[in-house]
């Protein structure tokens, strides 16, 4: 099982962690929400739980809880700029369908 991020995403997260002044990495998870069933959750990690899975890409740690890992296995996190908009893009091979606005998905 693995979760990765592109170099561009790692650079963005690394800068944000440095500005924040603390944190061991970025937590990636899923929660029940939206019209398709699940939504991604991102937050900084200050402390690791005993059952967390930790992956590293380009020097940045990605932390995933055990319940989310089954839905996120193989996911690559990217950071994209499209015109004036920028944000994270989730390349998740487990997704079978997404809602029209792209905020939620189901596997």
Q: Does 28 reside within a domain?
A: yes
Overall average pLDDT of the 31-42 stretch: 78
Q: Does 105 reside within a domain?
A: no
Q: Does 48 reside within a domain?
A: yes
Spell out a b/e string for 44-71, using b for 16 or more CB atoms within 10 Å of the CB, else e: ebeeeeeebbebebeebbbbbbeebbeb
- Name which of 14-23, 28-37, 91-100 the model is least confident about: 91-100
CATH number for position 13: 2.60.300.12
Tokens of 15: 């800068």
At 101 the three-state DSSP class reads: coil
Q: Does 46 reside within a domain?
A: yes
What residues does 75 pair with on adjacent strands? none
Q: Does 101 reside within a domain?
A: no
**Average pLDDT over all residues of the chain:** 87
Edge-to-edge strand order for the sheet containing 85-91? 4-5, 76-82, 85-91
pTM: 0.84
pLDDT tens digits, residue range 82-96?
Answer: 888 899 998 888 776
Q: Does 107 reside within a domain?
A: no
- Number of domains forming the structure of the chain: 1
Cα separation, 14 vs 56, in Å, equals 12
Instruction: Show the domain range for 57.
Output: 4-95
Q: Does 100 reside within a domain?
A: no
Question: Does position 42 have pLDDT exceeding 90, yes or no?
Answer: yes
């Amino acid at each position: 099982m693995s979760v990765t991020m592109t170099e561009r995403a790692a650079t963005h997260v690394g800068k944000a962690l440095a500005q924040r002044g603390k944190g061991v990495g970025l937590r990636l998870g899923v929660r029940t929400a939206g019209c398709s069933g699940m939504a991604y959750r991102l937050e900084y990690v200050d402390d690791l739980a005993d059952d967390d899975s930790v992956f590293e890409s380009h020097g940045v740690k990605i932390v995933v809880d055990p319940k989310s890992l089954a839905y996120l296995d193989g996911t690559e996190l990217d950071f994209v700029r499209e015109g004036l908009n920028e944000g994270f893009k989730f390349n998740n091979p487990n997704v079978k369908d997404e809602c029209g606005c792209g905020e939620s998905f189901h596997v």
